[in-house]
């Protein structure tokens, strides 16, 4: 029985150590740009990637893609910029870290 438990744990740990997780995020919306702050609350460096979306007043979604290393207990920003007469009214993001 013990060997079966060791075998199951031995197969599960490597697959769990590379799992993606959703970090804590905070948004800031201004008329000219939208930012998402990705916070790494874990005790190890994390590789994060994702997309930031900004909604303009005309209903058009603008986005940008990013990938970045976030230090343990640290944070990084990702931005989307608007041009001309358009301005942002809302923001969202899809970010995953490993």
Per CATH, domain 19-97 is 3.30.450: no
Predicted confidence (pLDDT) per residue in 54-98, tens digit: 999 999 999 999 999 999 999 999 999 998 889 999 999 999 998
Tokens matching residue 22? 């959703």
Per-residue confidence (pLDDT) for residue 12, from 0 to 100: 56
pLDDT tens per residue across span 3-37: 655 555 555 555 555 677 888 899 999 999 999 99
Residue 42 has pLDDT above 70, yes or no: yes
Structure confidence at residue 33 (pLDDT): 94
Smallest CA-to-CA distance from 93 within 20, 12, 38 is with 38
Task: Please state, as a whole number, how many other Cβ atoms lie within 10 Å of the Cβ of residue 19.
Answer: 8
- What DSSP string runs through the chain? -HHHHHHHHHHHHHHHHT--BPPEEEEEE-SSEEEEEEE--SSS-EEEEEEEEEEETTS-EEEEEEEEEE-TT-EEEEEEE--TT--EEEEEEEEEE-
């Amino acid at each position: 029985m013990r060997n079966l438990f060791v075998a199951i744990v031995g197969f599960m740990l490597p697959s769990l150590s590379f799992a993606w997780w959703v970090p804590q995020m905070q948004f800031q919306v201004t008329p000219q740009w939208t930012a998402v702050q990705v916070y790494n609350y874990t005790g190890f460096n994390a590789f994060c990637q994702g997309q930031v979306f900004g909604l303009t007043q005309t209903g058009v979604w603008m986005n940008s893609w990013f990938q970045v290393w976030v230090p343990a207990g640290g944070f990084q920003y990702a931005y989307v910029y608007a041009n001309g007469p358009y301005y942002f009214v809302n923001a969202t993001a899809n970010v995953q870290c490993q």
